[in-house]
Structure 1
Amino acid sequence: MKIKEIMVKKYPYIVLPNSRENALEIMRKNKVDFLPVIDENTYTLKGILTLKSFFENPDETQVALLVQKNIVTIDEESEVKDSIQKMLKNKVRYIIVTKDNRYKGVLLLKHIISRVIARMNIKESIKNVYRNSVFTIWDQTPLFVAFKIMELAKTYVLIAINNKLTPSGILTLEDIARYCEMIKSETKSLLSAPSETEEWEWNVQTIVYIAKNQFTIPKDKKVYDAMSKKIVPVNKYISISGCAKIMARYNYSQLPVLDVEGNLIGIIFDEDLLKASLNYL
């Protein structure tokens, strides 16, 4: 199967120059976490702008300085297996598709899950594929604290648990972004200059007010406010293709794994299914 058969040809993109507010609005409107950056005249690829870059650089106002130029690309005539190997090797969830160095679209991991792996009828179970370590968080934790935990744990997803210690939702970086705000802040700076007259005179001081838009997470929001509350669990005996079908049906990138008593024992990610499918391609 060729990449051009399953890639997204009308994926949103952005051109430069542009504002951070506009880029974030495009991401929110289209529910995506990255945007290809395209030359408006030649349609050549200049890089990508990620949601993660906004969080890592909350004070940066110039979008051009947030563009990531070291990106993974693939020709639209390549085979799907080639794209899977590239994703796994580079640890990415998407690949920018080009032809003759011109932007053609995007291949997302979730489309390989729904259009390839879910249809392969792989009967092997996920018991040797899922991860038995999972990052959890209390669903009443402040949202800005949850983001810090994600940052320190180097993960983009947390399983939320309630007071009964059972899963109550899933929180992703995209969920947090929906509640982020652009707040205009103002700081005062004093610039002093020595007097050129008598020693007893006061030094001259100039007050400079510096205004900037800051990307912030509201302090009053909790994990419960932002998380996806629909839990779609699986057990460790479900097949790889069966798990892929559930991910595709609910448009989830990860599913909690529960035992027969309903206890959380792990998590399965779409990239885990991707790696397991290589043996069957």
Structure 2
Amino acid sequence: MTQVRDIMEKNVITIDYTKNALDASKILKEKEISFLVILKDGKPEGIVSEGDIVRKVAAEDVKSSQIQIKEIMSKNFKWVNPETEVEQVIQKMLNNNIRCLIVLEDEKLVGVITQTNLSEVLRSKLLITATVDNII
């Protein structure tokens, strides 16, 4: 069985708890990503996504440089450990209607896993199955 460790993204883009929504928006744009992990004293404190910025900043006509990231981040983020089986990850994402999970090991941020990571694994498995079926 495939574990989170095998497919997680290890290069996690983060932002400090004290930054503002403008800082977060610039990083999202520059890195072409859809979310950031918020760190406070080096530990994950929350997640801020493009959706958070749209709903809590743009739609409210708030100036992004004047709203702190801690005011708009999602604090109740979901997480898994590196040994979690992929099937459990899929179920957790579906049950919570989310697109990414933080990966923690001993309370330390070691990665993230997203729908894209899961889609890549599924695609690989489907291609392997199709190839085996064609050989047989």
User: Shorter-chain TM-score: which interval?
Assistant: 0.7 to 0.9
Moved over 6 A (4+): none
Checking the alignment, whether the CA contact within 8 Å between 2:38 and 2:45 is kept in structure 1 is: yes
Deviations 1:46-101 (A, max 9, x none): 01111112211221612211111111110111111111111111111111111122
How many Å apart are 1:44 and its aligned residue? 1.8
- What 5-or-longer segments of structure 2 have no aligned partner? 131-136
The residue identity in structure 1 corresponding to 2:92 is K
The residue identity in structure 1 corresponding to 2:7 is I
Normalised to the residue count of structure 1, the TM-score between the two structures is: 0.41
The residue identity in structure 1 corresponding to 2:47 is I
SS in 1 for 2:9: coil
User: How many Å separate the matches in 2 of 1:93 and 1:63?
Assistant: 20
- What 5-or-longer segments of structure 1 have no aligned partner? 123-238, 240-281
Q: Which has the higher strand share?
A: 1
Q: Given the alignment of the two structures, is residue 71 of structure 1 paired with residue 72 of structure 2, yes or no?
A: no
SS in 2 for 1:54: helix
The residue identity in structure 1 corresponding to 2:122 is I
Q: Which has the higher helix share?
A: 2
How much is the aligned-residue C-alpha RMSD, in angstroms? 1.9
Residue number among 90, 105, 111 corresponding to 2:111 in the alignment: 105
Aligned length: 121
Q: Given the alignment of the two structures, is residue 54 of structure 1 paired with residue 53 of structure 2, yes or no?
A: yes
Q: Given the alignment of the two structures, is residue 82 of structure 1 paired with residue 82 of structure 2, yes or no?
A: no
Share of identical aligned residues, percent? 24
The residue identity in structure 1 corresponding to 2:118 is I
Superposition pairs of residues 189-268 of structure 1, within 5 angstroms: none
Whose relative contact order is higher, 1 or 2, with alpha carbons under 8 Å and at least 6 apart?
Answer: 2
Q: Given the alignment of the two structures, is residue 4 of structure 1 paired with residue 12 of structure 2, yes or no?
A: no
SS in 2 for 1:77: coil
Flag the structure with larger Rg: 1
